[in-house]
Structure 1
């Protein structure tokens, strides 16, 4: 059963999308009484007529009192500020009032997460420890679509639960993985500070958030100032433990060579370097490749991906090849459907698996990640840093 908190005038429109067994509540006080009367209830849909501040306070209290229960918030329209506030308060997903399909999908995902107990990732037994691959996605210029590629690549590799994947948001100050997946940031990497020096499987598991079947995430901090508290050594410890728990660990990075990024590069079996067909991005790509060479990272573990490859911006492929001087292993086309999927919080490879963007990312994963052997560990160049 689902509790739909919305006055009767609007409840009738939302009720069909909320599920087959729905009980309505005119306000949050009544929703609270219904929750108290049914300890097994795990989903509350808060309609657009309920004030935002009241809805966020309700979600924040519910996260503490009943952590397995989820809140799906319905608003008249999606707004980035509202999305951020909702995630901080513990709301599972935010959907637009007129998008009944997204509401039904959000309710289904929330019930699935509740069934797993929110944010709890099963710990592998010693005999089940994996030797997973670490894949770091990097672009030296912001706006290239790096986070979108990382999220979709991780979703492709998870294959609906066929493989286990952890997506690490290493953009500690401005990470967007949580928003892209509508993941509730109850625990983030900042909660690992107390484990520094002795991170193990149990500790790493406690930091993860379950997002989709087979896909978990280690989210970036949400509070201002927390990013500066996280040392690169913690990143190194986590990236040593996570591959023993997952088949693949995909790391989304900020657009700068920091100590944290270099720690991820050191731990990686595959570097995915992203660019777009414009002069500033290509210039930064050339600097990035030269830096990776200077740090003696192997060419064999490197893949250059050209995003928005079909953009008509006055550059030919010959122009791009002259700058890159390296094989481009994937051409991902541009599409307005990509930002739409981001706003919906559902990766395009899951939302539209036959879309040209989805097929390009899936082909890259199939030919250059799944098909290639795991590379040997790299030597660290900390003397240079």
Structure 2
């Protein structure tokens, strides 16, 4: 259910017309009574006549007492300072009062997100002890076009298993990320919206997430490529740690480059899936990737080599590839024209056709190397700050 609060009854009714089924209250006191009597309320829309200070104080209180409740703020004017203050308070979205289509979409997304959060927070049994930290799986290739995003989206969907687990898919290709397009998402926020926030906690990050399907939530890349430069590696590391504490698995899609943000993800990863295809340039880049990761002292037991389009008839045998790389291939994913077709529909093939050979190969990888494979990185064995600094400075240009 959705509740709309605005001091002007006419405005409140107009907002209800955009949202659909909803109840209307015309004061914050009435809203508090509704929330006290309905512990399962999903979404509250605060109209333009609600004082912003009162809205922020209400949101700050509810983020603690009702974390599954989403608040949407409707304003006549929206600026950067308002957005930053709203996210700090825990408001999920801020919508222009003239954009009623966006308001409707935001309410629907918030309902899905609140339901998923409430489901993930529900205890599986009588034991209320905190569960283990989630695992972080990073998908990487130094060459574009190998299928990183396809593997990342399908692996995330496989791990979520239609709601059995809670998974967050993070798009760290900050300049040219394709996760939102591949999943046909229309996000209200991206990871770039975390930059102006003074204090980024999980509630703030939660407001930036976009749900996709049961158990699968996303944190998408910025829309503008230029925003990538404003997102520091330290913020990326902090966000990944927050997500790890609240999701069973965090899957990270990456750009084809060893930049500081990617190295921050590597530092925290339990599994690094290194993907290549059966062509000489891709295998050459994979070999260089393995050598670079060894040089940077990333533990070999966390590496997994994924061979995509492994059945391509190009005159290269799998055994020859393993001999050249001096490393075993963890899984061979076959090629199929059904994969780009599923991408064009915005549905991962792992969800669209779970028994497809590509889906089965990805499930095999998940079962062997993620669900039952590498142990989680203990919090006390985090990468020492001096080594982390050395890694992230390794690829920077030296002054001539």
Check conservation: 2:181, 2:346, Cα contact below 8 A: yes
SS across alignment from 1:339 = helix
Whole-angstrom distance in 2 between the partners of 1:185 and 1:261: 22
State whether residues 171 and 252 of structure 1, in contact with CA within 8 Å, keep that contact through their aligned partners in structure 2.
Answer: yes
User: What's the offset of the Cα at 1:117?
Assistant: 5.5
Partner of 2:261 in structure 1?
260
What does residue 99 of structure 2 align with?
A: 61
3-state SS of the aligned residue for 2:226?
Answer: coil
Question: Normalized against structure 1, the TM-score is what?
Answer: 0.71
> SS in structure 2 opposite 1:167?
strand
Question: What is the aligned residue count?
Answer: 295
Indicate the SS of the match to 1:135. strand
CA gap 1:114/1:149 in 2 versus in 1, 3 angstroms: same
* Aligned pairs (5 A) from 1:276-287: 276-287=277-288
CA separation of 1:37/1:306 partners in 2, compared to 1, >3 Å: closer, same or farther? closer
Q: CA deviation at 1:173?
A: 0.7
Indicate whether 1:238 and 2:219 are aligned: no
Secondary structure at 2:222 match in 1:
coil
The reply on whether 1:383 has 2:390 as its aligned counterpart is yes
3-state SS of 1:250 partner:
strand
Change (3 A) 1:63 1:132: farther
The structure having more radius of gyration, on CA atoms, is 2
Q: How does 1:1-385 map to 2 (within 5 A)?
A: 36=17, 39-40=20-21, 61-68=99-106, 113=109, 115-116=111-112, 121=117, 128=130, 130-195=132-197, 198-372=199-373, 373-376=375-378, 377-379=381-383, 380-384=387-391, 385=393
**Structure 2: any 5+ residue segments left out of the alignment?**
1-13, 23-95, 123-127, 394-400
- The equivalent of 1:46 in structure 2 is none
Counterparts of 1:286 and 1:220, CA distance in 2: 28
The separation in 2 between residues aligned to 1:38 and 1:178, in whole angstroms, is 24
> What is the deviation of 1:36?
2.5
Deviation for aligned residue 1:224: 4.0
Gaps of 5+ in 1: 1-32, 42-57, 71-112
Q: Are residues 270 and 34 of structure 1, via their aligned partners in 2, closer, same or farther at CA, if it must alter by over 3 Å?
A: closer
CA 1:365–1:249: 2 relative to 1, 3 Å: same
Query: Secondary structure at 2:281's aligned position in 1?
Result: helix
CA offsets per residue over residues 69-110 of structure 1, 9 Å max, x none? 56xxxxxxxxxxxxxxxxxxxxxxxxxxxxxxxxxxxxxxxx
Q: Is the 8 A contact 1:231 1:260 kept in 2?
A: yes
Q: Any conservation in 1 of the 2:278–2:310 contact (CA below 8 Å)?
A: yes
RMSD of the TM alignment (CA)? 2.8
- Given that 1:272 and 1:305 are in contact with CA atoms closer than 8 Å, whether structure 2 keeps it comes out as yes
